[in-house]
Every structure is written in structure tokens, then in C-alpha cells.
Structure 1
Amino acid sequence: MVATHYLPQAELWIAADADDVALGFMGMTGAQIDSLFVHADAHGRGVGRALVAHAAALHPVLTVDVNEQNASGAGFYARLGFATVGRSPVDDDGRPYPLLHLRRT
């Protein structure tokens, strides 16, 4: 499904170091951040922050969903100015993994 449904409509960015080694990536559809992953070795080095800054330069209002159990992810987005605007008791596939809906203006 990722290859046939998501990738054709998504925008993807890769953050790399000076040697062109990938440190992380972000996928978006419109102003929605769908995925943001940073390699563990690059945590705390501003990679995620730079990817979100790039997204904000393209879209002044951003949204993202975070698993409620992911305290570090929710904290990351809160530090970048995202606020919780809603909650779903299940994930997008109907599984019992609550999601927090965040927005940054």
C-alpha cells in the first residue's frame, strides 16, 4: 500500500550529513506530517527540527498525529509549538492505539 497509494501522492525529504549519509526523513501529504524518522545516532542534533522547519516554510499551518503512548514524540512536537487539538481512541487502521492530533500555527 505504501508503494501504490502513499508514495505517488506524498512529498518526501531526506536529511543528510556533509558526506551524504541519510540521518532522517519526513513524509507529508499537504500540510500533514505523515512520518518523521531520525536515526538514533542523530537524535539531539537538530535533524528533526530542521525537517519540521522545512515543512513550516512550505505550509504555515502544520498538522501531525502522534501515538499517545509516544511521550518523546509528543514532547518533541510540543517543543516545536504544536498543540493538541483532538484525540482518537484508535489509530488509522482501527487498532486500539490512541492518537493525539496536533496542530502548529
Structure 2
Amino acid sequence: MWQADVGNAIKWGEDTEIAEVKERQPALLQQLLKIWEQSVRATHHFLSSREIEQIKEYVPGALNLVPRLVIAREESGAPVGFMGVDGGRLEMLFLVPDKRGNGLGRLLVEYGMKHCGVKSVTVNEQNPEAKGFYEHMGFCVYKRTDCDEQGAPYPLLYMEISQR
């Protein structure tokens, strides 16, 4: 079980709560790592299985280091999605595959904008669903790179909230 910052907790549907995590217990981080892997395998088709396994080694550290970690959990306590925020940048957003497309991702991003000051995000160009999702949320591309931040040949799109 994990302890949430109940002051900013919100309900979604009948049995899901979204809240910022106060303590990052090893059991929770293992659950989030599983969500990360399921989500990446469902959405990052440009990565090989070997590449996913290599990246996976760094995820627990990223989960520990990201300043703000927000989790969506079911009434049972099981997490079904999470996001990490550093400053105004959304660093990570992952959902269990069967929760995609039903509004939970939108609610997490809206929570991040309201409670964490999210104003920008970076997405892989080869993940057009993510790009479309963030565009629908009001983000627009302001910069593109040919490689990711580790130098791998995966172009990144840097997006920020549009000032419409």
C-alpha cells in the first residue's frame, strides 16, 4: 500500500483515485515498473524487446528521482497508471493498456497541469498516438531532434502548452 497526499486526491469514476505519492516504497516501484513495461510494449512499437529491457534497468531510478510522482489507483489499491513531473515538465505518463482511451490519461495530465504546473512534455516522434494525445490536450511542437536524449536514433518532439 502507498500513502497519498490526500489533500490533492481526486476521484475518477466509481473506483479510481488520483493522488501524489508521499513515500516511494519498493513494492510500489515494482508495480509501477510493470505498468511502465506493459505500456511501452503496447505503444512504443519502434523499440525492440532488447531495447525495452535495456531501458527498463533505468526506470526504477527515474521513478525514485522524479520530484513529483502521481499515481492512479483502483479501490483495491492497485495502481493502474502514473506520471512523473519535474518543474513544469511532464517526464513520464504510463497507463496499463486496458485503461488507455477512456479518459484516465487526460485526467492525469489535467491533474498535472492544475496541481504540478505541467506546461511541457517530450514525446518520441515514432509514437504518433502520444503526439496526437498531447495535441488534443493543447500542446504543440516547438522543437524536434534527430536523436533521443541518450543519442539513440529516435527523434524527439518537444511540446508545450499552446498559448491560444
Q: TM-score if structure 1 supplies the norm length?
A: 0.88
Aligned match of 1:79? 136
Q: TM-score if structure 2 supplies the norm length?
A: 0.58
Aligned match of 2:13? none
Alpha-carbon separation, structure 2, partners of 1:9 and 1:38: 17
1:26 partner letter: M
Corresponding pairs, count:
105
Of 76, 82, 105, 1:25 maps to 82
Higher RCO (C-alpha under 8 Å, 6+ residues apart): 1
Structure having the higher helix fraction is: 2
Q: Structure 1: any 5+ residue segments left out of the alignment?
A: none
C-alpha spacing 1:29/1:89, structure 2 compared with 1 (3 Å): same
Q: Structure 2: any 5+ residue segments left out of the alignment?
A: 1-57
User: Cα offset for 1:19?
Assistant: 2.8
Aligned match of 1:90? 147
Alpha-carbon separation, structure 2, partners of 1:41 and 1:7: 25
Alpha-carbon separation, structure 2, partners of 1:41 and 1:5: 24
Structure having the higher strand fraction is: 1
Contact 2:70–2:82 (CA under 8 A) maintained in structure 1: yes
User: Cα offset for 1:30?
Assistant: 0.7
User: Cα offset for 1:11?
Assistant: 0.9
Aligned match of 1:42? 99
SS at match of 1:94: coil
- 1:7-45 Cα distance to aligned partner (Å, 9 max, x none): 235211111123322110001111111110011111122
User: Cα offset for 1:100?
Assistant: 0.3
Structure whose CA Rg is larger: 2
Does 1:101 find its partner at 2:153?
Answer: no
1:52 partner letter: V
- 1:44-85 Cα distance to aligned partner (Å, 9 max, x none): 221111110111103556110000000001011011011011
